[in-house]
C-alpha cells in the first residue's frame, strides 16, 4: 500500500481541505501507476488533469469533482486488469473514503470513472450524465488524439505486439463494446475505429475546438503514413 494511502487509512495527517486532498490524490496516483504502460501512466493522468482544468475554466462545474475525476479516472484501467471494470471505481472509492471526502462527491467521482470510457458508449446511451463527466471525458479523449494520441496508439500497439498496419485487415465499422475490447487489429485500424471518431463525440465547446485542431493533425499524419507505405515519398 502506498505511503500516502496508508497515512490516510491510519488517520494520520488527514487532509482537512480540498487542496490537501488533491495533493494526497496526486501522490496516490503517482505511486499506484509507477511502472505503468507509457500511454496510461502518471503523465497521461497529468495531461488529462491539465486538459480538464483548461476546459473547466469555461464550464459551470464543481472543480473539485472534476480534478478528482481526472486524477482517478485511470487508476486501474480494465485493459490491464483482465477486463475487470470494477477494480478502478472500488479502488477510488476506498481511497477517497479514507480521506473522509464527502460521500456525494465520492459517488460522483465513482460514476465518472464508471462512465468515462469510450467503449462504454458503444452499446447505447450512458447510464450517468453530469457536466463534470463531460469535462473529464473531453479531457481524456483529447489525450487520445493529435500528436500525443498518435504516440500513445503506437506505444500501446507495441506493448501488445500488434502490426503497425496490414492492408489485408480492414477496420471494423460500428464496433460493439465486446468487439472493441477483443480487437487485436493493427494500430492504424484504431484510428478509423476510434481516434478519428472522437472529434464528433466531444461534449464541451472548448473540447470541440481543441479536438478539431488535433483531428486535422491526425489526418495529415495518416496521409503521410500511406504515402510512405506505398513508396510515393
Q: Are 69 and 109 a contacting pair, CB within 8 Å?
A: yes
Q: What whole-number distance in Å separates Cα of residue 154 and Cα of residue 171?
A: 16
Q: Are 67 and 29 a contacting pair, CB within 8 Å?
A: no
pLDDT tens for the 233 residues of the chain, in order? 444 444 444 444 544 599 999 999 999 999 999 999 999 999 999 999 999 999 999 999 999 999 999 999 999 987 888 788 889 999 999 999 999 999 999 999 999 999 998 887 777 667 799 999 999 999 999 999 999 999 999 999 999 999 999 999 999 887 777 887 788 999 999 999 999 999 999 999 999 999 999 999 999 999 999 999 999 96
Give the CB-side neighbour count of residue 178, counting CA atoms within 13 A. 0
C-alpha cell of 70?
481526472
* Res 181: pLDDT: 77
* Res 2: pLDDT: 44
Within 10 A of 212 (CB to CB), how many other CB atoms are there? 12
* Res 195: pLDDT: 97
Could you tell me which of 68, 80, 62, 57 has the C-alpha nearest to residue 26? 68
Please measure the distance between the N-terminal and C-terminal CA atoms of the chain and give it in whole angstroms. Answer: 52
Could you tell me which of 20, 36, 128, 18 has the C-alpha nearest to residue 74? 36
- Burial class of residue 104 (count of CB atoms within 10 Å of its CB; 0-12, 13-18, 19+): exposed
Domains of the chain in sequence order: 3-229 (1.10.3210.50)
C-alpha cell of 208?
470541440
Q: Is the pTM of this model over 0.85?
A: yes
Q: Cα dihedral sign for 213, 217, 218, 222? A: positive
Amino acid at each position: 500500500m502506498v505511503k500516502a494511502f496508508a497515512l490516510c487509512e491510519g488517520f494520520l495527517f488527514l487532509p482537512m481541505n480540498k487542496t490537501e486532498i488533491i495533493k494526497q490524490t496526486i501522490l496516490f496516483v503517482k505511486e499506484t501507476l509507477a511502472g505503468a504502460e507509457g500511454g496510461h501512466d502518471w503523465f497521461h493522468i497529468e495531461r488529462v488533469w491539465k486538459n480538464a482544468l483548461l476546459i473547466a475554466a469555461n464550464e459551470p462545474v464543481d472543480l473539485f469533482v472534476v480534478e478528482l475525476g481526472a486524477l482517478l479516472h485511470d487508476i486501474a484501467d480494465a485493459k490491464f486488469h483482465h477486463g475487470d471494470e470494477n477494480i478502478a471505481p472500488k479502488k477510488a472509492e476506498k481511497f477517497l473514503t479514507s480521506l473522509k471526502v464527502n460521500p456525494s462527491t465520492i459517488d460522483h467521482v465513482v460514476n465518472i470513472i464508471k462512465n468515462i470510457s469510450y467503449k462504454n458508449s458503444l452499446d447505447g446511451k450512458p447510464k450517468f450524465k453530469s457536466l463534470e463527466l463531460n469535462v473529464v471525458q473531453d479531457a481524456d479523449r483529447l489525450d487520445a488524439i493529435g500528436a500525443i494520441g498518435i504516440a500513445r496508439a503506437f506505444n500501446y500497439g507495441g506493448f501488445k505486439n500488434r502490426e503497425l498496419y496490414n492492408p489485408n485487415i480492414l477496420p471494423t465499422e460500428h464496433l460493439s463494446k465486446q468487439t472493441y475490447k477483443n480487437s487485436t487489429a493493427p494500430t492504424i485500424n484504431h484510428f478509423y475505429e476510434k481516434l478519428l471518431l472522437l472529434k464528433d463525440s466531444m461534449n464541451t465547446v472548448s473540447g470541440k475546438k481543441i479536438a478539431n485542431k488535433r483531428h486535422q493533425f491526425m489526418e495529415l499524419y495518416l496521409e503521410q503514413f500511406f504515402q510512405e507505405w506505398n513508396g510515393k515519398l
